[in-house]
Amino acid sequence: MKTYFITTYGCQLNVHESEKLAGVLQKRGFLPADKLEDADIIVFNTCAIREGAEDRVFGNVGALKKLKKEHKEKIIAVCGCMTQQKAKAEKLYQVFPFIDIIFGTSNLHKFEEFLDKKTKRLLAYDEDFNLEGENMPFYRTSGENAWVNIMQGCNNFCTYCIVPYVRGRERSRPHEDILKEVKEAVNSGYKLITLLGQNVNSYGKDCGEISFAELLTKVASIDGDFKIAFMTSHPKDLTSEVIDVVANNKKLLKEIHLPVQSGSNSVLERMNRKYTVEKYLSIIEEIKTKIPDVRITTDIIVGFPGETEEDFEKTCSLIRKVKYDGIFAFMFSVREGTVAEKMNDQVPFEIKNRRVNKILELEKEIKKDKLNGNN
Ligand code: 5AD
Ligand code: SF4
């Protein structure tokens, strides 16, 4: 029996897209291998959000040179967000001549076609973003949780972020397709349905579909014993209607991931986040009032260009106010082609490192306080 091994980097969207790659391979009779070395087809589904993720891909793909030399029949494929950047795809193609297939997110749906390729090596690159990937078969791998895509892409162009470049503009799936997929997942026994999108609160706006709050209500009205989660929300688009559905509908998990990125208005402005700290805190207030038992989590970037000690202190003060239940803190990483790449006053690594550690300490303090009953 032929086997495959997929290594996935990055976010839940990539995890779900690896389920689609697995779906294609299973359809063709391949089975999952226990170890990468044993597999006939080896796939790396890459991430581009920070430099570290890309460095790991170079390291891990590079390490396959010997294996491929000894087993020329094995197929090595590299895909995902990193290879949706033309220069990165070309570099991988040149540096590692043993990679057989390279393609980006816009060509995910062509994976099966690429497997049948007649050429010796293949580098597929275009920016023809669409929703074709939604028609792929998938092989779910996340236990009781079923990921369900509701939309692709992002229109926000936060100045630090590569996502709009590697995922294209927002494209919402028809709600009927989403409901059908959720029904199938629930009927197959999945207990948690996680609706996925870079900016779920923009659902429908690109094509006149129903709103995200209406979509949540429709998903929740599907019969069965299951819960609903969603990610990710942009604070500028989170509506009172969505908060109300989370508050009032038993099927919705009482959880909201609301990335703030910074607690300083001047940093937020340079990030192009389109909200102020005051506006963000008013949304948090509304969430906490309407959903008393809510879990709120966030993403924070430290060391954005020009972030001063005072800006960082403002972020710490916001964290103390919100008392998050979980924080994902990242050191700013320069991404090629973004606006922030060209900004002056890049913050040195040592300072970013100290700031990220300070946030981890704050997170621990908050957790301890909550365990001691101080809300
Ligand atoms: N550097 C560091 N962190 C980043 N993120 C996005 N782009 C960058 C970058 N260039 C973080 C943001 C986002 C999360 C998914 O990754 O916090 O919410
Ligand atoms: Fe990136 Fe901003 Fe879009 Fe999120 S909303 S994916 S941080 S550009």
CATH 3.30.750.210 fits 142-253, yes or no: yes
- Residue 166, number of CB atoms within 10 A of its CB: 27
The Å distance, Cα 71 to ligand 1 centre, comes to 38
| pLDDT recorded at residue 375 | 66
* Closest listed ligand to the CA of 258: 1
| pLDDT tens per residue, range 155-174 | 999 999 999 999 999 999 99
Question: Does ligand 1 have an atom closer than 6 angstroms to the CB of 50?
Answer: yes
- 162 CA closest ligand 1 atom index: 7
Whether the bond between 232 and the residue before it is cis, its omega within 30 degrees of 0, is yes
Residues contacting residue 155 through CB under 8 Å, at least 6 positions apart: 164, 169, 170, 199, 202, 206
**Domains 142-253 and 260-375 agree in fold:** yes
- Residue 215, number of CB atoms within 10 A of its CB: 25
Give the pLDDT band of residue 374 (cuts 50, 70, 90).
confident
| pLDDT tens per residue, range 223-278 | 999 999 999 999 999 999 999 999 999 999 999 999 999 999 999 999 999 999 99
102: region left, alpha or beta (phi > 0 left; psi from -120 to 50 alpha): beta
- The Cα 214–Cα 251 span in angstroms is 14
The CATH architecture of the domain made up of 260-375 is 2-Layer Sandwich (3.30)
Instruction: Tell the CATH superfamily of the 3-124 domain.
Output: Methylthiotransferase, N-terminal domain (3.40.50.12160)
Of 12, 129, 158, 330, the one to substitute when testing ligand 2's pocket (max ligand atoms within 8 A of C-beta) is 158
Task: Reply yes or no on whether the pLDDT at 118 is more than 90.
Answer: no
Mean pLDDT of all residues in 351-359: 98
- 328 CA closest ligand 1 atom index: 17
| Residue with CA closest to ligand 2 atom 5 | 156
Give the pLDDT band of residue 373 (cuts 50, 70, 90).
confident
- 167 CA closest ligand 2 atom index: 6
Question: What residue ranges do the domains of the chain occupy?
Answer: 3-124, 142-253, 260-375
The Å distance, Cα 176 to ligand 2 centre, comes to 26
| pLDDT recorded at residue 117 | 83
One-letter amino acid identity for 360?
A: L
| Residue with CA closest to ligand 2 atom 1 | 161
Does residue 14 contact residue 44 with C-beta atoms inside 8 Å?
no
Question: Does ligand 1 have an atom closer than 6 angstroms to the CB of 161?
Answer: yes
- The Cα 331–Cα 333 span in angstroms is 6
Task: Reply yes or no on whether the pLDDT at 105 is more than 90.
Answer: yes
Task: Reply yes or no on whether the pLDDT at 369 is more than 70.
Answer: yes
| pLDDT recorded at residue 240 | 98
The Å distance, Cα 271 to ligand 2 centre, comes to 10
Token pair 């063709």 in the structure block, residue: 28
The Å distance, Cα 165 to ligand 2 centre, comes to 10
